[in-house]
Amino acid sequence: MAVTKSIAFAIILLLPLAIADVQVINGKIKITTLTGSFCPHTVDFVSQQLAPAYEEFGEFLDIEFIPWGRATLNADGTVTCNSGTNDCWANRLHRCVIDLLQDDQAAQMRFMNCEFTERTAFLHGSYACVQDIGLNIVTVDYCVNNPRRDNLDADAAASSAEILATLNAVPAIIFNDNIDESVALYTDARNRLSSLICFALAEVPETNVTGCTLM
């Protein structure tokens, strides 16, 4: 045990992981992510990092998606997207679905993983991932086409403005609502999120998480 610990310690010294920046609060780590349907880096992050980390550690995660990219909410209530109409449409769809699934985090994660694996909404304007998740397509379509009947655009615009003003990154990745400009933390979140989460959880014995490895 002592030997294992000192080996782990030595490896951590050699390859510093930004775990000091991620903490477990009341048994959970909150991860907020600002996503963009167009953005290839969001595709990689959601499908290669967040979804696998959720699969492994979902019971300890509280995930908040802000599907907005770098859009602008205009004074007349319309939204302009820097990557065009498909980007706008797909991000709006993501906001609607995340809202409709607000009490089911696992379903939110399945949906976003579907969207950022298949990219059916962005590439094809399709509701295939909505169907996969079992939501009523008529309800979703109504939401997508009636943005003035809810505050989803205004809420996402407000949250994103604060995040982008500091981080200027899509995907933005924020732990425990602490908008942290650390490049090391962002690099780890983008490349080895499961390790980052595992080591943070292992600091809390009650999680029973052990045996973390660096990736």
Ligand X SMILES: *[C@@H]1O[C@H](CO)[C@@H](O)[C@H](O)[C@H]1NC(C)=O
- Positions that interact with ligand X (CB under 6 A): 207-208
Nearer to ligand X, 126 or 207 (CB): 207
Q: Name the residue with tokens 């610990």.
A: 5
Cβ–Cβ under 8 Å, residues 99 and 141? no
Q: Min. distance of Cβ 169 from ligand X in angstroms?
A: 32
Please state, in angstroms and rounded to a whole number, the distance separating the CA atoms of residues 157 and 117: 25
Please state, in angstroms and rounded to a whole number, the distance separating the CA atoms of residues 11 and 17: 10
Nearer to ligand X, 24 or 152 (CB): 24
> CA nearest 196: which of 33, 19, 13, 12?
19
> CA nearest 181: which of 169, 193, 198, 194?
169
Q: Min. distance of Cβ 207 from ligand X in angstroms?
A: 5
Nearer to ligand X, 59 or 150 (CB): 59
Please state, in angstroms and rounded to a whole number, the distance separating the CA atoms of residues 143 and 128: 16
Nearer to ligand X, 189 or 201 (CB): 201
DSSP lists the bridge partners of residue 34 as: 66, 172
Q: Min. distance of Cβ 204 from ligand X in angstroms?
A: 9
Q: Min. distance of Cβ 156 from ligand X in angstroms?
A: 33
Nearer to ligand X, 191 or 207 (CB): 207
Q: Min. distance of Cβ 115 from ligand X in angstroms?
A: 30
Nearest residue to ligand X, by Cβ distance, number only: 208
Please state, in angstroms and rounded to a whole number, the distance separating the CA atoms of residues 37 and 91: 6
DSSP lists the bridge partners of residue 175 as: 31, 178
Amino acid making up residue 119 = R
